[in-house]
Amino acid sequence: MYALNILFLMFGNYLVAVSASAPLPIEFRQGITTEQLIFLEESYQNHASIVGSQLTITYNVTFDSNDEPVLDPTSGAATEVVTISPGGRICETSDGSPFTSHAYQALQDLLEVIRKDNNRLCCQTNWFGSLCTQMKDHGTAALGICGTRSACMKCQEVFWLLSDLANDCRWHDKVGGIWRIGGWIDFIIYHT
């Protein structure tokens, strides 16, 4: 029993050490696996300061029969490098916003997608109506991408933008808002 307690203490300290530098509240870190925590820490090293960084948006991406983005050099896809401005973060949290815990669960689901495919793109594929595509949802919260159709960014970068939004726009137990990128594309946390 003593040996098990030592192992538990060592493992618990390892989890705290792994997740200590990534700026995510305990509500987010609860329920994620050790592999996800390790991936999160490695990803954070590359995206520690998402504000002020330069990210690439890819436009006119073609899609396969499963509606997955295909980056074919002959497809005519165009890229734009944009600087992430702190003025692009717009908090819109109100009583009608989704629960923060639900937004964090949707972010955990997105984290699992990018952990499996580090280069995966998150794309706006809706031609009509809202011009928004829901990426993940959980309970009252959804994560979406809005704007120019066929505009894509790496999901890992989207994850950090939406995590920043979730952390900075929290009010009581609710969160909602938009990250506006270059005037052409928005990443949103909204009520389902």
- Between these two residues, 88 and 6, which has the higher pLDDT value? 88
* pLDDT score at 12: 40
Beta strand 78-83 with 185-191 is unpaired
* pLDDT score at 106: 94
Cβ proximity of 192 and 137 under 8 Å: yes
| Range scoring the smallest mean pLDDT among 78-92, 113-127, 162-176 | 78-92
For 61-82, the pLDDT digits (tens) are 667 777 777 666 556 666 667 7
Cβ proximity of 56 and 74 under 8 Å: no
- Check whether 94 has a pLDDT greater than 90: yes
Q: What average pLDDT does the segment 45-74 reach?
A: 64
Q: What share of the chain in percent tops pLDDT 90?
A: 26
Cα–Cα distance between 48 and 31 in angstroms, integer? 22
For 137-153, the pLDDT digits (tens) are 999 999 999 988 788 88
Residue type, 142: A
Query: E strands, the chain, where?
Result: 54-59, 62-63, 69-70, 78-83, 89-91, 121-123, 132-138, 141-147, 152-154, 177-181, 185-191
For 102-136, the pLDDT digits (tens) are 999 999 899 888 888 888 888 888 888 889 999 99
Q: Which residue has the tokens 């499963």?
A: 66
Q: Is 0.85 topped by the overall pTM?
A: no
Cβ proximity of 142 and 134 under 8 Å: yes
Say whether 27 sits in a helix, a strand or coil: helix
Domain boundaries, the chain: 89-191
Q: What average pLDDT does the segment 46-52 reach?
A: 58
Beta strand 69-70 with 62-63 is antiparallel
Beta strand 69-70 with 121-123 is unpaired
User: How many of the other CB atoms lie within 10 Å of CB of 41?
Assistant: 15
Mean pLDDT, rounded, of the chain: 76
78 exposed, middle or buried (CB, 10 Å; 0-12, 13-18, 19+)?
A: exposed
Q: What average pLDDT does the segment 47-54 reach?
A: 59
- Between these two residues, 173 and 84, which has the higher pLDDT value? 173
User: How many of the other CB atoms lie within 10 Å of CB of 53?
Assistant: 14
* pLDDT score at 141: 96
Torsion of CA 143, 148, 149, 153, to 10 degrees: -60
Pick from 170, 171, 143: nearest CA to 158: 143
